[in-house]
Amino acid sequence: MAVARHETGPFATVSALASQVHPVFMLPPLATSLFGGLLSGGFWPPVAVLHAGAMFFAVYTAHVKDGYVDFHVRGEDDDHPLTGAGCRMALVGAGVGFALCTAAIWLLVGPGAALLTLPTWIIGYTHAPQLDMNPVGATMGYPAGIALALLGGYYAQVTTLTPRAVGLAAVFLLLLTGIKIIDDEQDYDYDRSIQKRTVAVVLGHQRARQLALGLFGVALLGIVGLSVALPGIPPSAAAAAVVFGTVAAIAQRGDPETATMLLIRGSYLLLAVLVTAIWFRPLA
């Protein structure tokens, strides 16, 4: 069975499979999962690694399925490194990896942690072609996965959810939804031609951008509010809102591609500031 489309041999197979690991989209779920464990205050490395592993396989599933549908089913992409059979093999392998990680979480922590982990794989597998053709699914699938990564990483450590975990998950959901709205502006003409109803297609460029900026504003106010109202989030965490707000102010003047690039990096900075504030508590 051929796995790679362009070359043969073990190296070509490994290279084609590895091509579906996109660091820009893969690292945030893993980092957020670990951040959730850190936020819980009961960090146990084996469980943290298992949950991060489950997130890896869930996102890998999404990447492979999206590429399979776009190239082999819809014919939208010009090229893809995996054959159809290779995509199916990769999906089975990722599914097995996710199942093993989730089963281990069940055994070490309990069924609640496993059940909170499961939806991330469902979102990844159904992203294409089910979720990506409507505004809510196309825009909020990845942000919802990030929010679940935080909640699952937190719950897997302490078997409960608290207002600070839910609040920060909501912040990430809003921020990343806004970024995805702007990201989808890049494909406006093509999405409209195939009747793919992204937020940009439904609302138009200007109103979609205004909605994204509004989501950023609510999320950043949420960070400030959480840092003031909840003892588990130190006041220094509010600096994360300042950092991302500065990046967003610069990005909103740019075209969709430039704005998305800046905002994604801004989200990395926001997470770094939150981790620093919670780990070191400089103003606590």
**Selected residue with higher pLDDT from 113 and 233:** 113
pLDDT recorded at residue 209: 94
pLDDT at residue 283 in the model: 47
The residue ranges of every structural domain in the chain are 13-159, 162-283
Query: Mean of the per-residue pLDDT values for the chain?
Result: 93
Superfamily of domain 13-159, CATH level 4: UbiA prenyltransferase (1.10.357.140)
Alpha-carbon gap, residue 119 to 116, rounded angstroms: 7
Q: Can you tell me the distance from the alpha carbon of 132 to that of 126, in angstroms, rounded to the nearest whole number?
A: 8
- 191/102: higher pLDDT: 102
Same fold? 13-159, 162-283: no
> 162 Cβ partners below 8 Å, 6+ apart?
154, 232
| pLDDT of amino acid 270 | 96
Fold of domain 162-283:
Four Helix Bundle (Hemerythrin (Met), subunit A) (1.20.120)
Q: How many CB atoms lie within 10 A of CB 11?
A: 10
CA-CA distances (angstroms) from residue 168 to 136, 160, 204, 252? 21, 15, 29, 23
Identity of residue 130: Q
- Residue 167 in this model has a pLDDT that exceeds 80: yes
pTM: 0.93
- In the numeric block, the tokens 């900026």 are attached to 213
Among 150, 122, 115, residue whose Cα is nearest residue 137: 122
Range from 21-30, 47-56, 127-136 that averages highest in pLDDT: 47-56
